[in-house]
């Protein structure tokens, strides 16, 4: 039995005691000073927890629920925001006007059902909450206090056991509130692993991954959590839903698929059977350097269309590679890796390198799966989210957005998105910023490009928010106009609604709303996410 980890910070990334080191902050500051041509940054700092002023807590749970509910300051503050850019700006400004009235930590499915019944009785909105790592406003109850007489954050963290491991089928029944590290630790003795490592791995939960169609470790083939879900169980206001545990079925529309990606609006995912992998024993990989990003992209396409399915196949454009220390700014980098628990993967790696060579890609000297550019990029990837709570305070507008597009449209798409985002940064902030791109996942018919942007805003929080919204909006418009999706694995939440509403077929939205009315007749579950809230 390991010690309980410290609680999550009420503001910022990670658990209490974790943050970017002074050296990491200095390096980030130096990068920004060089990028923006100034070392004059704002110095906004978040108020300490004790200084926060939260609106009145309006809900008092009955005796039976009181044992797992609280309206303590830490709990309400820590459940007010996710980890989006606006969340960070507003948290930094000490704006907690949307704080939930109550935070519930149900210890059982029965308690979840009781809590939903209580919410229905009080007409209170309920926000299912896993790790709170949403970067799209998925757990942020914006404006709900005015519409609902109560707002409850339903935190799943006490439903966190691996209930059963089936080594024969290589699957496990796992409760939804478990965090990534605890999940892998519980699986470890069996030799099995879920191998789903989103950037938020340490601070996000299985239920959150399923609710948001999280994208993980595998760059190809098993990209989203969707493919790993063998069955699932939810508690909805109308009762429980449990799908049958099966390797596959053809019986009607797949029931799991209605709930995978439902972002908390249809029910509370409480557990699931997940398909597992054996731990890899054979590995081959390294960093491949390309003359430019499109050459690297064409190599990715060839690789995938050759029927090679590397576990890792990320490419970084010149700017992304330079910004993360993985490259020198003159080459694009592919982080390539094959793995297997069963057989050597050198032949696949060799063929993949041939595909790369055909587009001018050459293996970095002394390269390996955990060395060189690949490892430098990996470290930057893991550490990056810790920086935001500092960089926002400097007045930096830094965010990411991601999408997917078929190969035939990719190059024109990419140019349009880059130009629209760069133009918006110049227009909005008055000076150029940095926009960079990588591929997080790839498919035989197209890539999933992931964009990062950095701009220097005016320092006041409300100005930062406005400016962020203008840049984000311009980028999102470009994504949609050029044929992409508003999200490949960050989900929709509240922030992507305007573009999601245009991307999805209108009649599908009506069908989804009808399904919601069946399962959540009072419209209490995560209102505003995916579809409009019903009138309170």
- Binding-residue pattern over the window 497 to 526 for its own copies, x denoting contact by CB under 8 A: ---x--xxx-xx-xxxxxx-xxx-------
Find the binder of its own copies among 407, 450, 451, 468 (CB under 8 A): 407
Q: What phi and psi, each to the nearest 5 degrees, are found at residue 28? A: -65, -40
415 touching its own copies, by CB under 8 A: no
Give the full edge-to-edge strand order of the sheet including 362-363: 362-363, 282-290, 332-340, 312-316, 434-443, 446-456, 396-402
Q: Is 457 helix (H, G, I), strand (E, B) or coil?
A: coil
CA distances from 422 to 416, 430, 458, 522 (A): 10, 11, 17, 43
Side-chain-facing half-sphere of 151: CA atoms under 13 Å: 26
Binding to its own copies (CB under 8 A) within 265-304 occurs at 266, 275, 278, 301
Shortest Cβ distance from residue 189 to its own copies (Å)?
18
Side-chain-facing half-sphere of 424: CA atoms under 13 Å: 23
Nearest to 105 by CA among 141, 78, 142, 136: 78
| CA–CA separation, 255 and 245 (whole Å) | 11
Which stretch in 113-121, 231-239, 320-328, 362-370 sits in contact with its own copies by CB under 8 A?
231-239
492 touching its own copies, by CB under 8 A: yes
DSSP conformation letters of 240-265: EEE----S---SSS-HHHHHTT-TTS
Cβ-count burial 384-421 (b if 16+ within 10 Å, e if not): bbbbbbbbbbbbbbbbbbbbbbebeebeebbebbbebb
User: Residue 368 carries which DSSP code?
Assistant: B
Shortest Cβ distance from residue 505 to its own copies (Å)?
5
Shortest Cβ distance from residue 133 to its own copies (Å)?
14
308 touching its own copies, by CB under 8 A: yes
Shortest Cβ distance from residue 458 to its own copies (Å)?
32
Shortest Cβ distance from residue 476 to its own copies (Å)?
12
Which stretch in 55-63, 328-336, 365-373, 440-448 sits in contact with its own copies by CB under 8 A?
440-448
**Count of residues that interact with its own copies, criterion CB under 8 A:** 92
Binding to its own copies (CB under 8 A) within 418-437 occurs at none
236 touching its own copies, by CB under 8 A: yes
| CA–CA separation, 444 and 302 (whole Å) | 8
| CA–CA separation, 455 and 389 (whole Å) | 15
Which stretch in 15-23, 127-135, 246-254, 453-461 sits in contact with its own copies by CB under 8 A?
246-254
Shortest Cβ distance from residue 172 to its own copies (Å)?
11
Shortest Cβ distance from residue 8 to its own copies (Å)?
24
342 touching its own copies, by CB under 8 A: yes
Find the binder of its own copies among 491, 495, 526, 533 (CB under 8 A): 491
Which stretch in 124-132, 236-244, 315-323, 462-470 sits in contact with its own copies by CB under 8 A?
236-244
Look at the chain and count its residues. 536
Quick check: 124 and 101 in contact, CB under 8 A?
A: yes
Find the binder of its own copies among 250, 365, 366, 535 (CB under 8 A): 250
263 touching its own copies, by CB under 8 A: yes
375 touching its own copies, by CB under 8 A: no
Q: Which is nearer to its own copies, 278 or 360 (CB)?
A: 278
Which stretch in 5-13, 104-112, 399-407, 459-467 sits in contact with its own copies by CB under 8 A?
399-407
Shortest Cβ distance from residue 452 to its own copies (Å)?
18
473 touching its own copies, by CB under 8 A: no
Longest C-alpha distance within the chain, in Å?
Answer: 69
Shortest Cβ distance from residue 399 to its own copies (Å)?
17
Cβ count near 252 (within 10 Å): 6
Binding to its own copies (CB under 8 A) within 161-220 occurs at 166, 168-171, 212-215
Quick check: 381 and 199 in contact, CB under 8 A?
A: yes
Secondary structure in 3-state letters for 200-220: CHHHCEHHHHHHHCCECCCCC
Q: Which is nearer to its own copies, 213 or 414 (CB)?
A: 213
488 touching its own copies, by CB under 8 A: yes
448 touching its own copies, by CB under 8 A: yes
């Amino acid at each position: 039995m390991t010690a309980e980890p410290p609680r999550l910070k009420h503001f910022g990334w990670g658990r209490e005691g974790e943050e970017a080191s002074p050296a990491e902050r200095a390096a980030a500051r130096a990068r920004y000073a060089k990028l923006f041509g100034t070392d004059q940054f704002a110095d906004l700092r978040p108020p300490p927890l004790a200084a926060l002023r939260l609106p009145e807590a309006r809900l008092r749970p009955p005796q039976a629920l009181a044992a797992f509910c609280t309206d303590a300051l830490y709990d309400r503050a820590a459940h007010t925001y996710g980890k989006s850019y606006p969340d960070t700006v507003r948290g930094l400004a000490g704006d907690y006007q949307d704080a939930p009235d109550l935070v519930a930590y149900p210890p059982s499915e029965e308690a979840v059902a009781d809590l939903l019944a209580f919410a229905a009785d009080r007409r209170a909105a309920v926000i299912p909450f896993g790790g709170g790592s949403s970067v799209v406003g998925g757990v942020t109850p914006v404006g709900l206090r005015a519409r609902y007489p109560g707002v409850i954050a339903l935190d799943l963290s006490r439903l966190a056991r691996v209930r059963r491991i089936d080594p024969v089928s290589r699957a496990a029944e796992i409760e939804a509130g478990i965090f990534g590290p605890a999940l892998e630790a519980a699986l470890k003795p069996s030799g099995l692993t879920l191998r789903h490592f989103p950037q938020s791995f340490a601070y996000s939960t299985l239920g959150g991954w399923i609710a948001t169609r999280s994208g993980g470790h595998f760059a190809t083939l098993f990209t989203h959590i969707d493919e790993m879900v063998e069955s699932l169980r939810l508690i909805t206001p109308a009762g429980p839903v449990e799908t049958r545990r099966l390797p596959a079925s053809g019986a009607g529309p797949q029931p799991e698929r209605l709930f995978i990606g439902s972002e908390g609006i249809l029910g509370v995912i409480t557990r699931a059977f997940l398909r597992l992998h054996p731990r890899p024993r054979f590995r081959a990989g390294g960093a491949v350097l390309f003359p430019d990003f499109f050459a690297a992209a064409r190599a990715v396409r060839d690789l995938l269309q050759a029927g090679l399915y590397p576990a890792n196949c990320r490419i970084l454009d010149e700017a992304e590679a330079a910004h993360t220390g993985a490259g020198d700014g003159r080459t694009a980098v592919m982080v390539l890796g094959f793995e297997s628990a069963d057989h050597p993967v050198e032949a696949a790696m060799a063929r993949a390198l041939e595909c790369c060579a055909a587009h001018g890609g050459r293996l970095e000297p002394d390269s390996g799966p955990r060395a060189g550019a690949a490892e430098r990029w990996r470290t930057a990837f893991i550490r990056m989210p810790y920086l935001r709570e500092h960089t926002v305070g400097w007045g930096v507008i830094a965010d990411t957005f991601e999408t997917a597009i078929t190969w035939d449209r990719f190059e024109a798409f990419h140019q349009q998105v880059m130009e629209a985002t760069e133009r918006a940064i110049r227009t909005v902030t008055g000076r150029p910023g940095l926009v960079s791109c990588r591929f997080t996942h790839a498919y035989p018919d197209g890539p999933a490009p992931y964009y990062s942007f950095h701009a220097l805003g005016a320092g006041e929080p409300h100005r930062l928010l406005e400016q962020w919204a203008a840049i984000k909006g311009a980028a999102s418009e470009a994504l949609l106009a050029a044929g992409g999706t508003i999200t490949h694995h960050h989900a929709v939440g509240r922030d992507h609604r305007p573009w999601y509403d245009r991307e999805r077929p209108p009649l599908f939205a009506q069908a989804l709303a009808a399904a919601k009315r069946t399962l959540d007749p009072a419209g209490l579950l995560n209102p505003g996410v995916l579809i409009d809230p019903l009138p309170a």
